[in-house]
Amino acid sequence: MINIKWGRYTLNLVLALLLGLFYSCQVEEEGLDIGESFDPSQPVVVSNFTPSSGGAGQRLVIYGKNFGNDPDIVSVFIGGKEATVINVKGDALYCLVPRQAFGGEIEVRVGGDGREVSGSSSKDFNYERKMVVSTLIGYKNDRGDEPWKDGKFKADDPSDMASGFWRPSFLKFDPINPKHLWAVFDFNNGLYLIDLEDSTVTKKRSDFDRPRSIDFTLDGQHMIIAEDRGGENDRATYRLSRDKDWQDREVMTRYRQCNGAAVHPINGELYFNSYEKGQFFRFDLNKYFDEGLGVKDYETLFVVHDPGWEYKIFMHPTGNYAYIMVINQHYILRVDYNWEKKQFNQPYLVCGQLRGAGYQDGVGSDVRLRNPYQGVFVKNEEYAAEGKPDEYDFYFTDQHNHCIRKLSPQGSVTTFAGRGSSSINPDPWGYVDGDLREEARFDRPSGLAYSEEDKAFYIGDQMNHRIRKIALEEMDEEESDTEEED
């Protein structure tokens, strides 16, 4: 438990340091001590610091001697990375921990004009890596007209770099090869392989119109694509085969304007929708493979409200329920699976409000969303340790709110990443990497996938024309090797 008196003392000291610069003149007039000036003939001593641990952006107070009272001549290095010095007052200074300060060594340098004196702490700051947003692939030129192009994630020659990604995306990891991330983009004719092993993007086929979602059969041998086409008997879903390198195509179901299709993770049934009336269809994949089924051999389970409801379906890993993301009406429904009848029951509201576009964290109908797009279930180890019946949170892209949000099993929605950097401008959108909430910005994120192997999220950042990543801060090879040895 934190010592309350010590916490208050530290807070008061920090506030005093922050206010020192603004009120130094007033303090001098009142005859109070604002700290002795730096003496280059004396050593700089670092005696202690608080707190003892933290991540990038952590507010840190360092104690010692001969720091002076001019922050312009004071530099602080933590783990070899330069920190931001906020204020200094003789025997204490206030700074912000820099990114990637993995080593933790604290050094204070004071002076200038060849009279710099330094001192180091006898103990290290315990730097804690944290989740940050970074850029994996893509770039955006001044005109915003860079082409869709295969290539490398990063390259010295821009002509070798992959580019494009400026349509709403849907991302899905290959269940057999966890280094293969598959992507389709609305109004783009391609199926794209994002290979995380060799850091390349490859367009595997070019015969789509409006591909809207990707899923796999339970054995991982078939990829299922939902396509949004307008004709009464247009293809709604079709399958590609792994043993054909995904180059074959067989239509499974036909109907108009399918926004998404998902496979039940336990019994393997296929569920898909239509934008026409908001229909929710069931198709028996097992029977399809064992006995053969016609392209109209599916049943309508229910209708989601009125015509023109665009939605996608996301299955809970247990198969106990699914979320229906009603994109263009700004809310999320839940459908519970009836194991006796072997089908989903009627849907009910989990969060958001019909036609209630907005931005607000909260619970249930108090939440405001604006075009929720793709989501993924991620196991919460704390829930598992506590023995809770549902161990998964649901992370999803909130497209026109420019952020990633998290829905708990209890229906509570919080903002996970994005909408940071308020000092740049008041807009919630932009392109900024860094701290999940303090710095990171997206511009209409759509696709979202999670790698259980890497503990990382991958985001299709539409208007930034990039694929972004959320993961623990990366260490260079030398630092990683040192950590492993320790």
Cβ proximity of 280 and 269 under 8 Å = no
pLDDT exceeds cutoff 90 at 335 = yes
At residue 476, the pLDDT reads 58
> What is the average pLDDT across 235-247?
96
Q: Which of 169, 398, 343 is nearest to 335 (CA)?
A: 343
Phi, psi of 329 (to 5 degrees): -125, 5
Cβ proximity of 348 and 334 under 8 Å = yes
- Mark which of 108, 127, 146 sits at the end of a domain: 127
> What is the average pLDDT across 207-232?
95
> What is the average pLDDT across 246-273?
96
At residue 10, the pLDDT reads 46
Percent of the chain with pLDDT over 70: 90
Cβ proximity of 368 and 330 under 8 Å = yes
The verdict on 225 and 262 lying in the same domain is: yes
The verdict on 429 and 333 lying in the same domain is: yes
Q: How far is CA 373 from the centre of its chain?
A: 13
For residue 486, being part of any structural domain is answered with no
Reported as a pLDDT band with limits 50, 70 and 90, residue 233 is confident
pLDDT exceeds cutoff 60 at 477 = no
d(CA 58, CA 130): 11
For residue 483, being part of any structural domain is answered with no
Amino acid sitting at position 384: A
Q: pLDDT tens digit string along 158-193?
A: 889 999 999 999 999 999 999 999 999 999 999 999
Structure letter (DSSP) for residue 192 = E
The verdict on 35 and 51 lying in the same domain is: yes
Six token digits for residue 70: 């001019």
The verdict on 55 and 163 lying in the same domain is: no
The verdict on 186 and 326 lying in the same domain is: yes
Side by side, the strands of the sheet bearing 45-50 are 45-50, 59-65, 92-96, 84-88
Q: How far is CA 172 from the centre of its chain?
A: 15
User: Hunting for tokens 């036609």 — which residue is that?
Assistant: 355
5 vs 227 pLDDT, higher one: 227
> What is the average pLDDT across 412-433?
96
- Domain range for 443 is 131-472
d(CA 466, CA 447): 11
484 vs 337 pLDDT, higher one: 337
The verdict on 170 and 66 lying in the same domain is: no
The verdict on 79 and 207 lying in the same domain is: no
Reported as a pLDDT band with limits 50, 70 and 90, residue 31 is very low
How high does pLDDT run on average in the chain?
A: 90
Lowest mean pLDDT among 17-26, 158-167, 396-405: 17-26
Q: Is the peptide bond prior to 51 cis by the omega test (within 30 degrees of 0)?
A: yes
Amino acid sitting at position 46: V
Q: pLDDT tens digit string along 76-100?
A: 999 999 999 999 998 999 999 998 9
pLDDT exceeds cutoff 80 at 338 = yes
d(CA 483, CA 85): 28
240 vs 114 pLDDT, higher one: 240
The verdict on 138 and 285 lying in the same domain is: yes
At residue 486, the pLDDT reads 43
User: Hunting for tokens 């004709």 — which residue is that?
Assistant: 231
- Mark which of 127, 150, 180 sits at the end of a domain: 127
Q: How far is CA 254 from the centre of its chain?
A: 34
At residue 159, the pLDDT reads 85
